[in-house]
């Protein structure tokens, strides 16, 4: 998982669901601040996969068209084996699962 720019910071578009759940995140201005927000996100959401963090320059998000979210599968050779559509409407875990099964030759 790559943590990118916060989609709903206090300085931007705050959504009511975040308010209902007590989530208040300031838009990080430094890489260290973004690391702290990403760590908090991973802990609170109980994410069980490795999480890496895009720098505040947002180069990774821009290169992969990842804002607000997008699913990718990278094969063992480092090549993109699956690129999902842009989220949130194109966020399709079932399509990613099918790509994983096709790549590995077995059900997940």
The 10s digit of each residue's pLDDT in 42-67 is 998 899 999 999 999 999 999 998 87
Task: Identify whether residues 8 and 49 lie together within a single domain.
Answer: yes
Task: Give this prediction's pTM.
Answer: 0.78
CA distances from residue 64 to 4, 27, 100 in whole angstroms, order as listed: 11, 21, 19
* Number of domains into which the chain is organized: 2
- Please give the residue range of the domain that contains residue 106: 69-108
Considering the domain architecture, whether residues 84 and 51 belong to the same structural domain is answered as no
Q: pLDDT tens digits, residue range 1-45? A: 999 988 888 888 888 888 888 888 889 999 999 999 999 989 988
Residues 53 and 74 in one domain: no
Beta pairing partners, 83: 72
Cβ atoms of residues 67 and 6 within 8 Å: no
CB 70 within 8 A of CB 87: yes
Asked if residue 64 is part of any domain, the answer here is: no
Inside any domain, residue 85: yes
User: Is residue 63, in this structure, part of any structural domain at all?
Assistant: no
- Considering the domain architecture, whether residues 22 and 47 belong to the same structural domain is answered as yes
């Amino acid at each position: 998982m790559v943590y990118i720019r916060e989609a709903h910071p206090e300085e931007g578009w705050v959504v009511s669901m975040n308010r209902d759940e007590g989530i208040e995140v300031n838009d990080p201005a430094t890489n260290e601040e973004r690391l702290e927000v990403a760590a908090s996100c991973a802990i609170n959401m109980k994410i069980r996969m490795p999480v890496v963090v895009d720098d505040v320059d947002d180069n990774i998000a821009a290169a992969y068209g990842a804002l607000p979210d997008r699913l990718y599968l990278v094969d063992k050779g480092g090549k993109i084996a699956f690129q999902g559509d842009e989220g949130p409407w194109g966020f399709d875990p079932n399509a990613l699962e099918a790509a994983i099964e096709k790549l590995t030759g077995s059900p997940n």
